[in-house]
Amino acid sequence: MTSKQEFIEKLRNSNLRPTKQRINICEVLFNRDKTFHFTINDLFNLIKDKTGEKVSLATVYNTVHAFHKKGYLKEIPINSNQTYFDTNVTDHHHFFDVKEEKLIDLKNEDVGPIEIQKSIPGKKIKSVEVLVKLED
């Protein structure tokens, strides 16, 4: 069970005041056992369902972006009409079931080490992500 104090800490670290709405968002994002893949719209609907209170879409966007910037959320690179985020911010990769539009985690051990043997002067590697598309 994640405590409200942790949510407040996460919010403060992200330069956000802990408001009722943002705590509700945290409740849905972080109070769970398994990693959570979502779109803003998923999250928006879940907040209503799980907390019984509505938070405006603009607030959901703002808060998610602040968390992403701070590193509490990870953006998953997929071409989809909507942007996907992940509460698992550790280095890991994804399956994407194209038909069902569903993301599945790949543990780091499930994918061998990836060596990038090319570099661009003046640039450094920020992240390496593997996307495995699945079909039937």
Q: Using the rule CB under 7 A, give the single segment among 20-28, 86-94, 95-103, 116-124 that binds DNA.
A: 20-28
Residue 19 lies near DNA (rule: CB under 7 A): yes
- Specify the residue, 53 or 101, whose C-beta has the smaller distance to a second copy: 101
Residue selected from 35, 51, 83, 87 as contacting a second copy according to rule CB under 8 A: 83
Q: How many CA atoms lie within 13 A of 124 on its CB side?
A: 1
Structural element, H or E, at residue 86: strand 84-86
For the record, the structure tokens of 55 come out as 């938070």
Residues contacting a second copy: total by CB under 8 A:
39
Return the DSSP state at 15.
T
φ, ψ of residue 78 to 5 degrees: the values are -140, 145
Residues that bind a second copy (CB under 8 A): 75-79, 83-84, 95, 97-98, 104, 106-107, 109-118, 120, 122-136
